[in-house]
Structure 1
């Protein structure tokens, strides 16, 4: 359970304070908590984001019993560095503090008592006075908390230092404990993190790396007991209903997994137009480098599902924040789906991305394709012209491929045709899976100047532009094989007309084979189970759509 509180309403309370700490204005927000948090919230534990618990937080909550009305309203651990002693370097002049001062990485706040004594007015008056000589804070809120405690020592309850063992330069944290088993909270409060000197440095390094790599799926299941009520119990029922002796048990089980998902992992701010088109795709971490290229080729909105681990999510965040191209775009929705299971849930990911689309039309693509320059504007005109809003049509964007890692991307259809003639481009999967795209009729496309209709054929899997309210992808197909074929088959069953766009194209960029393709090629069990899933899907389709779907039963 979590709640968000808008910072804007308290920014004026702290914006006037110059802060030299890298946290900026947000490093002063703790000062405003008695005002910001709901009036019926009387007590709160405040934690920095760089702390690791080695015990149950309920133990820390029990300390509130010691806090007394009208005194000891703030619980803090003494600062373990020499900062507030003013002895670190020549002319070092810290803010005033009581003794060594206190660290605000872990705070117990009696909100009710602080409101009653006029906390907001109290700290502001003291901060104004100190800023006349100090000019700015160096440690953000910590300087002001310590200045207030210096004048009003009765406010603070000194907590045992095991509740905030501070790993930073010039600390005395080793005096806090005799054995590492005594530790309660480890505070990694230094940019140098694990490089600080400490006799237990290997213990802390291992703890840090273990937690960094900790799978959130284990956290939710084992540590917090999530997945025992509500929809999770339905998932358990579905799993229990699967025959464990079925050789395809693993495939069937993963179909019903509900993955942890973080929608809009990065900032998103976009208002679509009436004829807008969103590019929909999915990827794993080994394809993340394609994002910048796609953003250069497609200026419209994008909905992307990323299948990554907890540690990879942090890697992706660093990658994105370091990319001027990605940071310049606010119309890309990044939706993180955390890894769980042994197969790549490709259709699950596509559905996550599809569910977040806010435009009337979608361009269903893959992350390893680069759309032609100008395709976004072309499709925005083509969709209303082809009356997609009223008619069941799927506009096909013809797909090509190159086997060259360095490609001068064609600026027009004529340039692409020239490259086809020269052998630097091919129709997609021409050498290994021609049936997937041959119904597009590339021979006709070469000379076409107007859209033309093609018929569905077995194994057809074109990339299409359709209304965003289309059927979702069938999630029984994961990894390699039939994930797009089944979707196009259902569109055909619903009566969609397939129309090829004469002046649109996309090009597949080369990359190493995926892990799932390798499993498909090397595992006879994988291939047998895929065949079983195909048969089940075809039978389900015939039940759903009746006699017009009987033709799919003969498809191999």
Structure 2
């Protein structure tokens, strides 16, 4: 149903335009005649005549254009006040009675392809505030796509305010710290401290208690924050968020909440028989996108207002069905003057039973896409393929490209960015090993716990986590490892944004991986030329939750029951009070299909038959020779071995062991340097007599191919080894001289 004043408004526009044209022509002719009579004076030559004529005309044209602009602006504002939401008037009553979608009828509301005067954008460098409630692993993943879509279009500094549980706080704080996006501030607020504010409200919505927390924002956010844009995590922006921020300027002196009308019939109560929704004005409003004037809401006592309304309605409704949205709508029903209705393209809702197609006629109309359905990308909408592609663009977009400066806007760089800049300035670009040195200080984005993770420590305090790293080409090993190792696992995955989504689909489709909640997947996003193997190991190590870790590689399969055997060994060898590194002997097979040995006796038999080999005996004997495989064959008790040059066994140590040296990237010396430092710190190297892992065959990595084919690569590796020795000597003094001596005697 169209607005009753629409026809009159169009007639007014036509009349004003006609009057302006007639006036302009009259003035133009009159001024031209007057100027000509003046310019015919004999005191002026022909050149002066043309000059004055031009100036007079130019001044008058500018005057008429300014009058015209002012008239258009007044007309536009008149239209805006009728369309955008003063709901104490008869227009709202008509809409409420008919259930009409006020955003579906006029071109002015549908998009920016009209001739309406554009509202002024925000001031250059004005700080925009955005708030989100985010809890759990899945929501933390979703909010990254939302943030990418905002950063892609933005031209202003941003301050994100996240109300989070402990899980989301850990994930997002690590992500933003490593992302280092200029002119972006992030603040976190503890959702646990707000639970008591809303826990008394029964809620049937799948968002649970966190779906009610937007009601508490006037209390949760800083008292000096006057306004904020509040977003659900399932939002995708198709335009600059600054356009939405400017709408605050259109609020009347009583309006405090900006919302888009609900695009389904939910609040009309006609979706099914006996459907009884919460009270709402007409179709009600959707709270996926909210403009909140916090200062005004605090002044009118918002907290008491929504609490009293919720208490009253719950007496008959018993619980909320749509979480905070039901309560917002009930408050607005009682206080319609509070709401400023946003054009519907600011929240194109893709839930079931919506009429979102009436919000837009072309791509330029789209501002915000809202996947407000549990089915998300599988909703029914005739343009869903377009929306899905828009969403996937940001889902797989390289977040490194969003680290762009806002030139001309002063910003306070983070401590990390200052350190990084200082380290970069110290590098010599003419150094032949410049790329290696730059890789060491590269700040990679890190998304911890990419999938749901649950950890419960076993009794006895001897729990052990398998720690490893991998890239996309080793993904097929995950299912096999999970079948061999039932304990907790911490994995660092080196992937691009697009590959991370491929991994997500792979994990969600795998019955084996879906059933395991004690595997922590930590995505480290690709950047630079080299595989940052030791950075990956350190990230996996830091995020292991057990007191002990098994430092392995992903292309090794542990023997069955190794997890239980290691926990028993940790207790028997009193690792809680001694510095030990327990060595798990490594073997390999050249067969892609292997009947995996179920015991040490079976492994020895396969070793004798040539089905198995000691690891790398034919290409890199020194790497594992000190394990003393001959002794291991008959050993029944743990035995100690001495460090030797280039020793790189797989070990079980306390979680607080030294980290890996991150100067070693790609292939070469990444584990050797770590074992050397364990020895320098006087860890006893102890071989376990009844433990083993078996390396499974695979194609050579890209980095080992570079090592073999490039003399420059090998020369730089030698340079890094020499520098590591020097640093080790400075750190451990004379005790570290044996490592340099051993290296020179090779």
Band of TM-score, shorter chain:
0.7 to 0.9
Offset, 1:82: 5.9
TM-score when scaled to structure 1?
A: 0.84
For the Cα contact (< 8 Å) 1:28–1:140, is it kept in 2? yes
Matched, 1:5 2:5: no
Q: Secondary structure at the match of 2:291?
A: strand
For the Cα contact (< 8 Å) 1:34–1:114, is it kept in 2? no
Matched, 1:378 2:565: yes
Matched, 1:228 2:413: yes
Give CA deviations for 1:300-319 in whole Å, capped at 9, x if unaligned.
34333222333444444455
For the Cα contact (< 8 Å) 2:464–2:487, is it kept in 1? yes
For the Cα contact (< 8 Å) 1:347–1:475, is it kept in 2? yes
Q: Secondary structure at the match of 1:408?
A: coil
Q: Secondary structure at the match of 1:483?
A: coil
Give CA deviations for 1:94-142 in whole Å, capped at 9, x if unaligned.
766534433222112344236265212214433554x48xx984x5554
For the Cα contact (< 8 Å) 1:10–1:36, is it kept in 2? no
Matched, 1:366 2:553: yes
Greater shift in the superposed pair: 410-419 or 386-395 = 386-395
Q: Once superposed, what is the RMSD of the aligned Cα atoms? A: 3.6
Distance of 1:457 and 1:441 partners within structure 2: 12
Distance of 2:678 and 2:446 partners within structure 1: 27
Aligned residue for 2:597?
410
- Change in Cα spacing, 1:451 to 1:89, as seen in structure 2 (3 Å) is closer
Aligned residue for 1:269?
455
Aligned residue for 2:728?
541
> Could you tell me which of 402, 418, 442 is aligned with 1:219?
402
- Change in Cα spacing, 1:354 to 1:555, as seen in structure 2 (3 Å) is farther
Distance of 1:436 and 1:395 partners within structure 2: 16
For the Cα contact (< 8 Å) 2:480–2:557, is it kept in 1? yes
Matched, 1:63 2:250: no
Matched, 1:75 2:228: no
- Change in Cα spacing, 1:10 to 1:242, as seen in structure 2 (3 Å) is same
Give CA deviations for 1:347-371 in whole Å, capped at 9, x if unaligned.
1111222233454433211122222
Give CA deviations for 1:243-289 in whole Å, capped at 9, x if unaligned.
11223211110111122223344334334644443322222233344
Distance of 1:47 and 1:486 partners within structure 2: 48
Distance of 2:388 and 2:521 partners within structure 1: 31
Unpaired runs of 5+ residues, structure 1, are none
Offset, 1:505: 0.9
Unpaired runs of 5+ residues, structure 2, are 1-185
Q: Secondary structure at the match of 1:14?
A: coil
For the Cα contact (< 8 Å) 1:221–1:227, is it kept in 2? no
Give CA deviations for 1:309-356 in whole Å, capped at 9, x if unaligned.
334444444555565655655554433322222211111111222233
For the Cα contact (< 8 Å) 1:399–1:462, is it kept in 2? yes
> Could you tell me which of 225, 238, 251 is aligned with 2:423?
238
Aligned residues: 545
Greater shift in the superposed pair: 181-190 or 375-384 = 181-190
Aligned residue for 2:232?
48
| Greater helix fraction, Structure 1 or Structure 2 | 2
Matched, 1:399 2:586: yes
Aligned residue for 2:482?
295
> Could you tell me which of 525, 550, 556 is aligned with 2:740?
550
Distance of 1:365 and 1:83 partners within structure 2: 54
For the Cα contact (< 8 Å) 2:198–2:213, is it kept in 1? no
Greater shift in the superposed pair: 479-488 or 55-64 = 55-64
Aligned residue for 2:125?
none
Q: Secondary structure at the match of 1:236?
A: helix
Distance of 1:432 and 1:550 partners within structure 2: 23
> Could you tell me which of 181, 184, 187 is aligned with 2:370?
187
Work out which of the two has the higher radius of gyration on C-alpha atoms and give 1 or 2: 2
For the Cα contact (< 8 Å) 1:262–1:336, is it kept in 2? yes
Distance of 2:545 and 2:268 partners within structure 1: 56
Aligned residue for 1:282?
469
